[in-house]
Amino acid sequence: MMPGVVSAIGDVREHRGRQELYKSLQPAVLDRLCEVAKIQGTGASNRIENISTSEVRLRELMERKVKPANRDEREIAGYRYVLDTIHESHDSIPITPGVILQLHRDLYRFQDVSFAGRWKDSDNTIAERTEDGSMVARFVPTSAAATPSAVERICDEYARWSKGATYDPLLVSLIFVFDFVSIHPFADGNGRMSRLLMLLLSYRSGYDVGKYVSIEAEIERTKTTYYEALAASSPRWAQGESDYAPFVTYLLGVMTACYRDLDERVSLLSSSAKGEDVLRAYFAGLTGTVTKRQIMDDNPTLSRRTVERVLQRLQAEGAVKKVGAARATAYQRIDQGEVS
> What are the tens digits of pLDDT across the range 108-132?
999 999 999 999 999 998 877 777 8
Torsion sign across C-alpha atoms 69, 72, 75, 77 = negative
What is the pTM (predicted TM-score) of this model?
0.83
What are the boundaries of each domain within the chain? 3-269, 273-333
Q: Judge whether residue 16 has pLDDT over 70.
A: yes
DSSP 252-265: HHHHHHHHHHHHHH
pLDDT in tens, 170-184: 999 999 999 999 999
CATH entry 1.10.10.10 includes domain 273-333 = yes
Task: Judge whether 234 and 139 are in contact, CB under 8 Å.
Answer: yes
3-269: what fold? Fic-like fold (1.10.3290)
Interior/surface letters 2-15, b for 16+ CB within 10 angstroms, e for the rest: eeebeebbebbeeb
Q: Do domains 3-269 and 273-333 have the same CATH topology?
A: no
pLDDT in tens, 292-309: 988 888 787 788 888 999
What average pLDDT does this structure show over 41-61?
93
